[in-house]
Amino acid sequence: MKILIVDDQQLVLLSLEKLLSGLGYEVISTDNIIDAIAKYDSEKPNLVIVDINMSNLSNTESLNEHQSGLEVVKHIKQIKKDNTPVMVLSGNTDEEVIIKGFDLGIDDYMKKPLSLSEIGARVKRLIGSTIEKSVTEKPNSKERYIQNKCIGVVIPCYNEETRLSSDEFKSFVHKNLGYHLCFVNDGSKDNTLAVLHELTKGKEEYISVYDCEKNGGKAEAVRLGMLHLAKQNQFDYIGFLDADLSTNFDDFQDLADTIYNSKYKLVFGSRISRMGADITKQSARAIISKTINYIIRKILGMEINDTQCGAKIMTKEIIEKTFNEKFITKWVFDVEIFMRMKKIYGSTKTQELILEKPLNRWIHMDGSKLSFKDSIKIIGQIGQIALHYR
């Protein structure tokens, strides 16, 4: 039996192709509406799985851009008047859109995120198991979820050979279908690049390596990685995360859920609440960090408690407007992002577009602590920013 999949996000297409092919179905896929209609007419599939939230690439009836996937449904059910089952797979929770889909004749609606095992069960319910062979579903498919968004994550790496938690990264992309990790090798002098290439084996669609031959500092590594991912249309949001996972994936997903369900254009983690409330009991590092944050707040003119947390997620608009030019500092580029936003949007609007979200967990990893000398350098770089952006 033949299934046509229509989704403009390659990570979703790939996951569905592997699942359904493994269950014995013949799979045809496309990432746009025009091709979907053409392939439906020529291939005569037994089932169509289509995403609602696709770009309107058709010249037929003008629909809202978030409804355009329904054009495929309309072609099958109303124009062709076929009884071919149509399953909608989407993160769209707009009640009017969902009702319109059922009015057009869809046979099933699945709201992301959902497990691969559920998709397989629903497909079998609609068209039955394959005749050619009986395939048993893999046990771990229940633990693999297609997310309601596609997110690219840049992870800068400099001499991280011994600190990279390869199993944790592999486990994350295995379970969370819709995430792509892009490791940026920042001219490492150890064996980091080889470790990264080993990490990608068998997961090339979900993990990639962007290699910078020379060390340019974290700011440049993140900038190049973000611009690299921004060229790909499939990502809804793009963010960055430290290679040592001092901020873990649970917290990063919380940031992703927040930006997805809001109108914010940049959401970032805050470590302040994890440093303890009583300053008399804090380490010298915490006191220095709070002092630096105070200076930054004064320069920014915005009440941001922690600009330097290495976990941020944003829209492509922010990347396109703030990452094109090289940052003037190697470490304090996060502050420059906010300064550039202020220059573009103004102070009031910038504060409406950003959200600082306290982290549930954050730890210092071995080898990640800044020395007192580094702290002095950071203060110097903050001074550079104040002069450059005044």
| Residue 223 pLDDT greater than 50, yes or no | yes
Map residue 265 onto helix, strand or coil: coil
Q: Which residues contact 42 (CB under 8 A, 6 or more apart)?
A: none
Count the alpha carbons within 13 Å of 272 in the hemisphere toward its beta carbon: 16
Please list, in sequence order, all residues whose beta carbon lies within 8 angstroms of the beta carbon of residue 326, skipping any fewer than 6 positions away: 220, 223
3-state secondary structure (DSSP) of residue 129: coil
Contact of 312 with 269, CB cutoff 8 Å: yes
Output b/e per residue, 254-282; b: 16+ Cβ within 10 A: bbbeebbeeebbbbbbbbbebbeeeeeee
What secondary structure letter does DSSP report for 212? E
Is the pLDDT at 38 greater than 50? The verdict is yes
Between 60 and 294, the higher pLDDT residue: 294
Give the DSSP letter of residue 245.
-
Q: Residue 219: phi, psi to the nearest 5?
A: -60, -45
CA 266 – CA 283 distance, rounded (Å): 30
Class of domain 2-142: alpha beta
d(CA 170, CA 159): 20
Question: Taking a C-beta distance cutoff of 8 angstroms, is the pair 324, 235 a contact?
Answer: no
Global pTM value: 0.86
In this model, does residue 289 exceed pLDDT 80? no
Give residue 349's pLDDT: 96
d(CA 24, CA 14): 15
DSSP code at position 310: S
Higher pLDDT pick, 327 / 290: 327
CB 312, CB 260: distance < 8 Å: no
Phi and psi (nearest 5°) for 240?
-140, 155
CA–CA dist 178, 288 (Å, integer): 38
pLDDT the model gives residue 291: 78
**How many Cα neighbours within 13 Å face the side chain of 25?**
25
Average pLDDT over residues 113-129: 93
Query: What is the pLDDT at residue 272?
Result: 74
Q: 147-245 adopts what CATH topology? A: Spore Coat Polysaccharide Biosynthesis Protein SpsA; Chain A (3.90.550)
Mean pLDDT throughout 124-140? Answer: 67
What local confidence, expressed as pLDDT, does residue 139 receive? 52
2-142 and 147-245 share one fold: no
The confidence score (pLDDT) of residue 370 equals: 53
The residue type at 114:
L
Q: How far is CA 228 from the centre of its chain?
A: 14
Average pLDDT over residues 240-261: 94
- The string of pLDDT tens digits covering residues 135-175 is 455 556 668 899 888 999 999 999 999 888 889 999 999 99
pLDDT band for 372, please (50, 70, 90 cuts): low
Better pLDDT: 94 or 367: 94
- 67, pLDDT greater than 50: no
Q: Which helix (H) or strand (E) holds 155?
A: strand 145-157
Report pLDDT digits (tens) over 92-109: 667 888 888 899 999 999
Residue in 334, 140, 367 with CA at minimum distance from that of residue 239? 334
pLDDT of 305-346, one tens digit each?
888 888 999 999 999 999 999 999 988 999 999 999 999 999
Contacts of 149 (CB under 8 A, 6+ apart): 91, 112, 178, 236, 237, 256, 260
Query: What local confidence, expressed as pLDDT, does residue 136 receive?
Result: 52
Domain ranges across the chain: 2-142, 147-245, 255-390
